[in-house]
């Protein structure tokens, strides 16, 4: 069946890789081989790939740049569709409105805003991941979130129709959106920003990036914050209170720099990371009664 997808990819000039190690495609640097990884360069190519997968009942996984996922050590059977740097056009629609394809990195999007002296995305500078992923989970930091600037998302629905959600229909909440409960593929974002002062915007972005480098273990592979913030608490503080800072399973470790991060300290496997996540969740629940939810998505 995968030969049909490869044939389609060749016909439309779409990049693809066979038995691609997902450890090379995820920020955790773990994960076995994907049978076929396809990187569409435009929406027509994306629809063509999704169509042939649907028609032939081939398992399909949609990812961005792999910054918020864990992939099984056994790899993935089927097709991984990666929307990343080759699906990353950004342009101005008017003086304060930005159009961005979902595969653009948040860093690229923030730099585009800075270049055009547009304020509103300072909070997001340094957030790993793509714009599509940030919209999907309403990413936020330092007092800001995507909800503050996102006005519209275009997507491909399960019937392969192109449509969109705007405004309140996006249902943006803490680390969730309308897409959290839908099997849709986000293809682009429209953001409303505000004209500002280049120097002030740059200063704020630099300050936020400096805070990240100071407080977060960016020198190790990870997926950012491992757990969602429980209502009324901070996950990292709860984990630290339970004496789990520095706890290890195999090559995975609860960061000694920030307990909210699980890192790949020393050639960890996905299994190591999953076991450590469960150890942390169990210990925190046992000691505090708070059940931690992961931000990281697991694919197997």
How is the chain split into domains, by residue range?
A: 2-84, 88-215, 235-299
Cα–Cα nearest to 160, from 55, 82, 10, 86:
55
Are residues 53 and 14 in contact, defined by beta-carbon separation less than 8 angstroms? no
The DSSP H or E segment spanning 154 is strand 150-156
pLDDT in tens, 256-276: 999 999 999 999 999 999 999
Active-site residue among 111, 175, 241, 300?
Answer: 175
Q: Is 175 a catalytic residue?
A: yes
DSSP state of 149: T
In words, the CATH class of domain 235-299 is alpha beta
Task: Choose the catalytic residue: 225, 255, 269, 281.
Answer: 225
pLDDT of residue 4: 96
**Angle formed by the axes of helices 198-215 and 106-115, nearest 10°:** 150
Task: Respond yes or no: is residue 225 known to be catalytic.
Answer: yes
| pLDDT given at position 130 | 97
Instruction: Report the distance separating Cα 176 and Cα 283, nearest Å.
Output: 26
User: Is 45's pLDDT higher than 90?
Assistant: yes
Phi/psi of residue 84, nearest 5 degrees:
-140, -130
Fold topology of 2-84: 3.30.43
The yes-or-no answer to whether 2-84 and 88-215 have a common fold is: no
pLDDT reported for residue 1? 84
Contact, 61 vs 20, CB < 8 A? Answer: no
What pLDDT digit, counting tens, does each position of 66-97 carry?
A: 999 999 999 999 999 999 999 999 999 999 99
Is 122 part of the annotated catalytic residue set?
Answer: no
CATH of domain 88-215: 3.30.465.10
């Amino acid at each position: 069946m995968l030969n049909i997808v490869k044939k389609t990819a060749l016909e439309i000039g779409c990049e693809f890789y066979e038995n691609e190690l997902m450890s090379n495609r995820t920020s955790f640097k773990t994960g076995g081989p994907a049978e076929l990884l396809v990187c569409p360069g435009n929406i027509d190519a994306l629809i063509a790939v999704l169509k042939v997968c649907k028609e032939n009942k081939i398992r399909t996984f949609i990812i961005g740049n792999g910054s918020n996922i864990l992939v099984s050590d056994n790899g993935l059977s089927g097709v991984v569709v990666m929307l990343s740097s080759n699906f990353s056009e950004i342009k101005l629609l008017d003086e304060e409105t930005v159009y961005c394809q979902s595969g653009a990195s948040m860093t690229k999007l923030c730099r585009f805003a800075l270049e055009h002296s547009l304020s509103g995305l300072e909070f997001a500078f340094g957030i790993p991941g793509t714009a599509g992923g940030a919209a999907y989970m309403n990413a936020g930091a330092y007092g800001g979130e995507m909800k503050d600037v996102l006005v519209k998302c275009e997507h491909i629905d399960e019937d392969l129709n192109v449509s969109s959600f705007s405004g309140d229909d996006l249902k943006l909440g803490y680390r969730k959106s309308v897409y959290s409960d839908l099997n849709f593929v986000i293809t682009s974002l429209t953001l409303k920003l505000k004209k500002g002062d280049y120097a002030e915007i740059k200063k704020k972005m630099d300050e936020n990036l400096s805070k990240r480098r100071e407080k977060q273990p960016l020198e190790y592979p990870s997926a950012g914050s491992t757990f969602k913030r429980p209502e009324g608490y901070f996950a990292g503080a709860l984990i630290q209170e339970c004496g789990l800072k520095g706890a290890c399973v195999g090559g995975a470790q609860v960061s000694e720099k920030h307990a909210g991060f699980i890192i790949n300290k020393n050639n960890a496997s996905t299994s190591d990371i999953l076991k450590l996540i469960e150890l942390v969740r169990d210990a925190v629940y046992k000691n505090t009664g708070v059940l931690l939810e992961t931000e990281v998505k697991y694919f197997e």
